[in-house]
Amino acid sequence: MSCAFEEDLTAWVDGELPPPHRARVEAHLGTCAECQGTERLLRLTVARMAELPAFTPSPSARRELLARVDALPPTWRERFAHLLRPGVLVPSAGLAAAVVLTLLVAGRTRVESPSLEEWDPGALEVAANLELVEDYEVLGLNSSEDLEVVENLHELGVP
């Protein structure tokens, strides 16, 4: 670099120097023939860049780009967002709610079922032998109590 101000000359030509700095360069230019020559060269070069032919991109660029974007594999965010769509989320949530409800009901049924010790011994005997027959009539169910036991056998929860 031949002059301490030379590196400022391009910024000065481009109007990029702050005012105090610009004033110093302008004052120097008035006294330095070498910088005057460089400044002229830079200014001419900057002007000539506008003469260069403009590069024009292909008219099919937009279509090609959008096709590439459409062909991109979905990101994990897009996959997750897909799962949160109402068409997917509502049936899934309904199914999950049904499963939870079923488990709760089943759990409550088990909790509220009486223990074996609380059952009537006659009912337990009927229940114990029920698996041996397929026709309830052979048991000779005559009383309403026996019928009630058979109707509620499913609540025993044990064979």
Give contact residues for other proteins (rule: CB under 8 A).
6-11, 14, 16, 38, 41-42, 44-46, 48-49, 51-58, 61-62, 64-66, 68-70, 72, 75, 77-78, 81
CB of 49 to other proteins, least distance (A): 5
- Cα–Cα distance for residue pair 14/11, rounded to 1 Å: 5
Neighbours of 38 (CB within 10 A): 19
CB of 33 to other proteins, least distance (A): 17
Q: Which is nearer to other proteins, 52 or 111 (CB)?
A: 52
Tokens of 145: 């109590």
> Please, where are the H alpha helices in the chain?
6-13, 19-29, 33-48, 61-70, 76-83, 86-112, 121-130, 144-151
Confirm if 110 and 157 have CB atoms less than 8 A apart.
yes
Q: Which is nearer to other proteins, 29 or 123 (CB)?
A: 29
CB of 12 to other proteins, least distance (A): 10
Q: Which is nearer to other proteins, 77 or 110 (CB)?
A: 77
Q: Which is nearer to other proteins, 49 or 158 (CB)?
A: 49
